[in-house]
Structure 1
């Protein structure tokens, strides 16, 4: 059975689809799994052994659709569900199942603070789209596979960090999902442990400011590594402190202890770190046993400001606080965050 799974973006959302990819491949007899995403995010899934063929969204949607039409798919699993995927499904003319984004429920929560969202993680809702194929959650959590040529070497880190470090993810797609710089500086000064600052090129200046606080203890990795290399820095960390962003889900894929910091978005959206169930078995592909991609030392905690009437103000985020006060981040209790950090480190 030839199955096309679609998720165009973004990093975190694609990582959250990996249980669907794996479970379809392992549980549907003779499944040939194809995956369609944007070119910008190809590295997120290019090394995934459960994907038989990767398709990349061309600048011309017509060209992409023409290439897909030649495949002769038996099913389309649409985990993005927008106008472009509607057009793809219409042309392919094969059975399809689409993910329910629950946009009305999210609108009610962000605009009227009425929560009608199911108390269910988005991973489990993604998996509902393939239940008709007899697919069930195998409990093995998220996947993230790093090619060997993009693994970090010990020499890529300063000697002060080669015996272990905490990863601090400072980036996020929207400003209202990020701690302000002065809060990050205070947090860095609280944590008496080697830190690697993680983020993209756009976070380089923030990382530089934080590294200047203690150039020996704090290493700025923002913009210095590829996505997969940054993912390997996450994999090698003792613990990850992160905003609601893609590296948070990559950390969950590696079963790392994660402390997530929430601003304008809320855990109720169902996108908290998704850790595998204890004792999840190895899985088999082409007769080869593949363990889950992380280790068993995971544990999660979260920090947020409870009781703000303006929160959540968006299901995604804003460039600035709509109210101007940014209380959802300004009132984050950094002492509590520091306490949780020490507790998770001790639990390791």
Structure 2
């Protein structure tokens, strides 16, 4: 999810260079609601394969179905072999991507990934949309900006009995990648407790898998704490985050959504680094202890203590809010 949000910086850059460019984006079904909130994107095209599936016949069928569109260029963001198949089968004449998995026939232009120059995911994405000779100018990149449905926002307040008077703090406690990216639930609970005492309402946002964690966070906190995990769709999360005053999040996809709708983002980093995947907004505060053992980029703490997250206290975050 975070990658799809960050890809909007590429779409914006393409539009800066060519105002009349028509941009269609191929992605999994779950990404369509995000893409529909990007004004630069004409249509989201669903690739009906599951994560990790080769799906060569599915990709061939989709590619052939797109030939009538007569696309001029395809930008392939992933470095996998299979990700370049649809543009190849669609007979798109110019197909750009990074070197990876021997894609000699599938791509017409293969670029070397200079990890020192392109030290952030968003820079890597945007670099594929500009001529190689302009890479030196990759400094001021456009931030993602998702559109907000204010009618849906109002309906969500009503349907979930949210307080229109209290400022909201959204919390995203999920960490699908692994526990080394998850701030302790007891810390989220204590922070929520203190915020409610100071006049805020707290919304826990996430998917159905995060519902049990959300219940633990709001346990005993009263009517101003709402566990919305699994009770809202992705488009609803977009609109709720736009209404929140503050968003407190692990390094996750929803953190990038919050940044793209203007919330003040408090990003909590442990095993990962904000130097590589920062929330793309000027309105952010990063919480990172920068321990000697971090960032390790592991799913589970290899030292068994996860001090990089455990030692970021609720008080430290509360004081910054």
TM bin (shorter chain): 0.7 to 0.9
CA shift digits 1:192-233 (9 cap, x unpaired) = 332111111111112122222311231111111111101111
Asked if the contact 1:160/1:216 (under 8 Å) is kept, the reply is no
Asked if the contact 1:257/1:299 (under 8 Å) is kept, the reply is yes
Question: 1:302 and 1:332 mapped to 2: Cα distance?
Answer: 11
User: Structure 2 vs 1, CA of residues 242 and 61 (structure 1 numbering), >3 Å: closer, same or farther?
Assistant: same
2:277 matches 1:274: no
Q: Report the equivalent of 2:171.
A: 168
User: Structure 2 vs 1, CA of residues 327 and 100 (structure 1 numbering), >3 Å: closer, same or farther?
Assistant: farther
Q: Report the equivalent of 2:247.
A: 240
> Is there any run of 5+ residues in structure 1 with no aligned partner, and where?
1-10, 102-115, 276-297, 342-348
- Tell me the matched-pair count: 290
Secondary structure at the aligned position of 1:123 is classed as helix
> Is there any run of 5+ residues in structure 2 with no aligned partner, and where?
50-57, 101-114
Out of 295, 298, 301, which is 1:312 matched to? 295
Following superposition of structure 1 onto structure 2, how do residues 84-233 of structure 1 map, counting pairs within 5 Å?
Answer: 84-91=82-89, 92=91, 94-99=93-98, 117-118=116-117, 120-132=119-131, 140-147=142-149, 150-153=152-155, 154-158=157-161, 160=163, 162-174=165-177, 175-191=179-195, 192=198, 193-233=200-240
Question: 1:323 and 1:55 mapped to 2: Cα distance?
Answer: 43
More displaced stretch, 73-82 vs 19-28 = 19-28
**CA offset at residue 238 of structure 1?**
0.7
Secondary structure at the aligned position of 2:183 is classed as coil
User: Structure 2 vs 1, CA of residues 47 and 168 (structure 1 numbering), >3 Å: closer, same or farther?
Assistant: closer
Asked if the contact 2:13/2:142 (under 8 Å) is kept, the reply is no
Asked if the contact 1:261/1:304 (under 8 Å) is kept, the reply is yes
Secondary structure at the aligned position of 1:265 is classed as coil
**CA offset at residue 332 of structure 1?**
1.6
Asked if the contact 1:152/1:233 (under 8 Å) is kept, the reply is no
CA shift digits 1:108-142 (9 cap, x unpaired) = xxxxxxxx644754323322211129898886520
Question: 1:222 and 1:325 mapped to 2: Cα distance?
Answer: 28
**CA offset at residue 259 of structure 1?**
0.7
More displaced stretch, 129-138 vs 212-221 = 129-138
TM-score normalised by length of structure 2? 0.80
Question: 2:92 and 2:23 mapped to 1: Cα distance?
Answer: 18
Question: 1:97 and 1:151 mapped to 2: Cα distance?
Answer: 39
RMSD, aligned CA: 2.7
More displaced stretch, 209-218 vs 144-153 = 144-153
CA shift digits 1:250-307 (9 cap, x unpaired) = 11112221110012111122x11112xxxxxxxxxxxxxxxxxxxxxx6211112222
**CA offset at residue 156 of structure 1?**
3.0
Secondary structure at the aligned position of 1:52 is classed as strand
User: Structure 2 vs 1, CA of residues 159 and 28 (structure 1 numbering), >3 Å: closer, same or farther?
Assistant: closer
Secondary structure at the aligned position of 1:58 is classed as coil
TM-score normalised by length of structure 1? 0.74
Secondary structure at the aligned position of 2:96 is classed as strand
2:263 matches 1:256: yes
